[in-house]
Amino acid sequence: MTTVAILVYDGFDELDAVGPFEAFGMAADAGAPVETSLVTLEERDRITAAHGLRIDPDGRLDPDDPPDLVVVPGGGWNDRRERGAWAEAERGAIPDALARVHDAGATLAAVCTGGMLLARAGLLDGRPAVTHHGALDDLRATEARVVDARVVDDGDVVTAGGITSGLDLALHLIERVADRETADSVADGLEYERRGDRWTPE
């Protein structure tokens, strides 16, 4: 069983998290060995997303005993909002936790400017990556190697472009934990036409 935790925080972009959550859920319904939850870093009863969606998280992310896969949404980076990825990068707790999670053996996957939280953690240094088009200059200012692709799979770190790219990211990861047939079935159920521009190591 592959355990997937989607890390949510105040100001995250709704679709960055909810799109992958639904895709993984549909894969599980189809028999894929995947179990998905919405988690926070600190204990929280409720999280409010960028456009007002309120969710009750399933629990906390334990950086020292992480799930197999942690998905990090973005939101609020490009306009430097007081809540969102930019604020969390400045606060530092999430980037620090992500570094610990990675050190503990988890695969990290980021949607949109969630990739900038990985960059702030130093996890994209010297690695191929992508983020929302509005933050590409910020990503280029880091040690990451920016790739022109919708999903960039570098093994234990996977990044995706903006917002709806989270569906392509989830479908790609479903292929990894299950198979192509399951991913295609989920895409069909979502009535979503997969985008093929994925980067993987040669």
Q: Quick check: is 138 in a domain?
A: yes
Residues 6+ apart with CB under 8 A from 89: 77, 95, 116, 117, 120
Q: Quick check: is 145 in a domain?
A: yes
The number of domains in the chain is 1
Q: Are 39 and 8 in contact (CB under 8 A)?
A: yes
Mean pLDDT within 29-37: 98
Output the average pLDDT for the chain: 97
Q: Quick check: is 198 in a domain?
A: no
Q: Quick check: is 141 in a domain?
A: yes
Alpha helices in the chain (DSSP H): 14-29, 85-91, 93-103, 114-120, 136-140, 165-177, 180-190
Q: Are 158 and 108 in contact (CB under 8 A)?
A: yes
Mean pLDDT within 78-92: 98
CATH code of the domain in which 114 resides:
3.40.50.880
Query: Given the structure tokens 């479908």, which residue do they identify?
Result: 171
Domain span at residue 67?
2-189
pLDDT in tens, 50-83: 999 999 999 999 999 999 999 999 999 999 999 9
pTM: predicted TM-score of the whole model, two decimal places: 0.97
End-to-end CA distance of the chain: 28
Tokens coding 14: 């709704």
